[in-house]
């Protein structure tokens, strides 16, 4: 048994009594009130999910297992001779809540290496799809095609005990995660690099091997590591995370769940935001003739944009009330590695002028930039200029968090999700009682 799996087993035995006690002894304790606005408005802010993997604090940003992003980047073991921690180290943190030793990181690396071979039929399926298929369609289809490999699906029909569901979910998750970099890189090289496929290097870590298969030199390997970490999880209520949880709550295996997760992520209101920001930035640059504007010129452009009824993409967040730490982490990388990049200069200038204007106009509770304001800029700088592929990168990272959550959901015996619906007439009746 791997070090990670043994540690996870120990943690599960500790956590199960906590959940069982809460459900048995305190199941009727109220923790929230629901309004009509929340019911009709997409269940926004209704406290009805649980996860220990991440928590979004309005002022500190996302915490992974209690650690802020700066703490994660500081405390996790770095890849030798690189600036960023490995994805392997981060995944250990997500699953266990512990900062891993180098031995524990190496153990996961070996596990991923052992499991990373992609069945040939997956590549055949991707090749058989129309060349102009969206890369997210290719990615989700490739994952779904591997459902026949599911260990849980096989074990479930062998009278698998409920308390042991987590074990095959763990095995399926490890098998799937190990394959994601190669599948994604294959799609990229097939679609955008004339089918010039690059084989993986078993000596490289998760992020480093992805960069290698993409054919992009250092420091893109550190970008991959950072990108996957930052996009891994964002509580359980966002569309991609919740979709994965919901599908898995029916005991659909990890291949079904992650494929469904990706289809949610592909929506323009979710995973496409970084693409939209970059398109907008290129439009701004074009309108200014490609030159770097002065601060006053950029202010005028922002005012004109708002006056015309449009928004400034990449700014604001439903929960956060400060600059998104995910944006800050990427900005620091840009300041170090690409300070003279024209698009970054635009982003940096917008960072200075937009928030005060939005506050002045009362346009947003949070006028600060979010993660999407920066992420596409970095990809563009290092040669990944195909907008539509950015969501695939997002999907690799998000799979880390969703797989972790699903494993724990099965370990703690969370049931099938089944919220109750009301009719419009019932809501009108409730509203009338308040008049």
Give the separation between CA 251 and CA 245, rounded to whole angstroms.
Answer: 10
Backbone angles phi, psi at 21, to 5 degrees: -65, -45
Pairing type for strands 67-68 and 54-57 reads: unpaired
**Counting Cβ atoms within 10 Å, is residue 431 exposed (0-12), middle (13-18) or buried (19+)?**
exposed
Classify 215 in phi/psi space as left (phi over 0), alpha (psi -120 to 50) or beta.
left
Our answer to whether residue 317 is catalytic in this structure is yes
Helices (H) and strands (E) counted in the chain, each on its own, are 20, 3
Question: Which helix (H) or strand (E) segment is 55 a member of?
Answer: strand 54-57
How far apart CA 40 and CA 352 sit, in angstroms, is 36
Question: Which residues neighbour 389 within 8 Å (Cβ) at sequence distance 6 or greater?
Answer: 135, 187, 188, 191, 192
CA-CA distance, 153 to 418, in Å (whole number)? 22
Alpha-helix residue ranges (DSSP H) falling in 163-253: 166-192, 206-214, 220-230, 239-249
**In the structure encoding, which two tokens stand for residue 277, read together?**
């920001």
Based on the residue annotation, tell me whether 32 is a catalytic residue of this protein. no
Sheet holding 67-68, edge to edge: 54-57, 61-64, 67-68
Q: 231, 234, 317, 381: which is the annotated catalytic residue?
A: 317
Please say whether the beta carbons of 412 and 15 come within 8 A.
yes
What's the rounded Cα separation, in Å, for the pair 12 and 35?
A: 35
Write the CB contacts of 105 (distance below 8 Å, at least 6 apart in sequence): 77, 86, 88, 89, 92
Query: Of these residues, 134, 270, 282, 337, which one is catalytic?
Result: 270
CA distance 22 to 238: 25
Q: How far apart are the first and last CA of the chain?
A: 63
270 is catalytic: yes
User: Could you check whether the bond before residue 300 is cis, i.e. omega within 30 degrees of 0?
Assistant: no
In the structure encoding, which two tokens stand for residue 262, read together? 């990706």
| Residues acting as catalytic residues | 270, 317, 372
């Amino acid at each position: 048994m791997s070090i990670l799996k043994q540690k996870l087993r120990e943690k599960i035995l500790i956590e199960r009594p906590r959940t069982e006690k809460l459900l048995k002894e305190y199941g009727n304790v109220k923790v929230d009130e629901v309004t009509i606005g929340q019911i009709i408005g997409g269940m926004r802010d209704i406290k009805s999910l649980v996860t220990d993997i991440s928590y979004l604090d309005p002022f500190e940003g996302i915490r992974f297992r209690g650690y802020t992003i700066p703490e994660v980047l500081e405390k996790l073991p770095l890849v030798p001779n690189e600036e960023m921690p490995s994805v392997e180290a981060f995944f250990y943190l997500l699953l266990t809540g512990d900062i891993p030793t180098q031995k524990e990181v190496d153990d996961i690396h070996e596990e991923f290496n052992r499991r990373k071979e992609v069945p040939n039929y997956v590549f055949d399926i991707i090749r058989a799809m129309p060349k102009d298929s969206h890369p997210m369609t290719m990615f989700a289809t490739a994952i779904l095609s591997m459902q026949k490999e599911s260990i849980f699906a096989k074990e479930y029909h062998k009278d698998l005990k409920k308390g042991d569901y987590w074990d095959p979910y763990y095995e399926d998750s490890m098998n799937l995660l190990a394959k994601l970099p190669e599948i994604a890189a294959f799609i990229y090289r097939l679609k955008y690099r004339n089918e010039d496929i690059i084989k993986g290097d078993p000596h490289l870590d998760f992020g480093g091997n992805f960069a290698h298969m993409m054919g992009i030199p250092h420091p893109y390997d550190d970008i991959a590591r950072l990108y996957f970490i930052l996009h891994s999880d964002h509580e359980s209520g966002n569309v991609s995370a919740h979709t994965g949880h919901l599908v898995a709550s029916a005991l659909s295996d990890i291949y079904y769940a992650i494929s469904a997760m990706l289809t949610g992520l592909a929506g323009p209101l979710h995973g496409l935001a970084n693409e939209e920001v970059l398109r907008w930035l290129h439009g701004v640059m074009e309108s200014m003739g490609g030159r770097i504007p002065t601060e006053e010129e950029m202010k005028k452009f922002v005012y004109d944009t708002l006056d015309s009824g449009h928004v400034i993409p990449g700014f604001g967040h439903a929960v956060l009330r400060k600059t998104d730490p995910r944006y800050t982490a990427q900005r620091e990388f840009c300041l170090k590695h690409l300070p003279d990049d024209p698009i970054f200069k635009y982003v940096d200038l917008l960072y200075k002028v937009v928030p005060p204007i939005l506050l002045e106009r009362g346009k947003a509770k949070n006028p600060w930039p979010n993660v999407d304001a920066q992420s596409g800029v970095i990809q563009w700088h290092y040669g990944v200029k195909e907008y539509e592929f950015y969501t695939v990168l997002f999907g690799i990272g998000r799979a880390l968090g969703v797989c972790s959550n699903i494993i724990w959901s099965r370990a703690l015996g969370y049931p099938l999700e089944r919220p109750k619906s009301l009719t419009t007439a019932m809501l009108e009746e409730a509203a009338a009682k308040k008049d």
